[in-house]
A and B are shown apart, each in its own frame.
Chain A
């Protein structure tokens, strides 16, 4: 899976409101996942941006540095104020799926996008269904 990360300058974020759609509190549960994301986040100055199949933009960044919110790495949907609350969970799930496939391929070894798709199919999640 190829995923194109965008630089903040490439994304029109004027008026965008971040909505947390996924929080990983323990990204180092398997350290390879944490290493990959930290490397990419640091290379891009603290945040990764990607576009899902729906063309919505998502931000991947660290959270918890304010000592108020939970510590981890979060993915936020960058919603325009006009669209706030109108993007469905189903759309978001389909948008996140390619990011997961990319992450697993980057992790490598026993972690494969194929295993993700098969697991997703067992549990009947929409991203996996789209692939089958």
Chain B
């Protein structure tokens, strides 16, 4: 056991059992969603896909964050690294939740229809990539890669807690290099598959970056909420300090601007060039009530966070930082809804309760899995060689 300058108990308290109520909420809400399947199966699958991409983006953001911290040998983040590690460690289990999307391919993806394919030269041209078999193979590859990386990042880090073998961090750094490269490719293609191919005629070459920007922004929002929640419960009060929250807020602020830059670049190029086959995607999404969703997320995940997080004081204020983090997550859901739903209801906004139940259902499972993994190990990587510097941060 190494010496630490922290007075906190580093074991997760056994009386704080959050995974059970979270799993309960998740299962009940998923059953409710499943009832919706018999009422309107198209609506069920579209709602499910919205929520599935929401939580997948957080898990993938966490995986990227962990690999990035290893690659850059960061000191500041060591004490909070166990949180994103425990999120992405569940990617192998999370892979099971792609199955409903695969079962709903016929409802979700227009290009799976044989009759549509027969009369559509554009779809015929894309057929070598957009076909059911290859789609399923790709999903297996993505989750094999992510699952392996997420599992390994967590597993070896936990092993270092027990053995104190510092060679493991070299091992993790060596995994992270190629890992981040493969991650970039798989994430981009996954976003093409899940979201962009909903409109198989439309394409945007920066859609992958766009999805990554959304994912990474939301990861910081989730980390801030988790840290503030732990403080409320009296966990790690002296270990995770104000300065750590401040750094998370700085990164949240930075990636808010990055997201806005990417999202707006995609919009501006298409808007300015004004080529019908490209503008149609935005035309559908800026009419029929969908424009209000666009305004909502424009303010919710860029303008308001940008102005509020600008002063130094609000970055280290737990109440302000967590409110903004919450607003960003809500806006992320609204934006994914805005991307997915116009395919189902092209003529106008139509709300369904299934969006809420699938969001709560997958959310319960997602965070239940997180607390389940997190509660089993020490809450910080106690034997990491950089931990002292992270604890002494001010």
Q: Do A and B bind each other?
A: no
Chain B residues proximal to chain A, CB less than 8 Å:
none
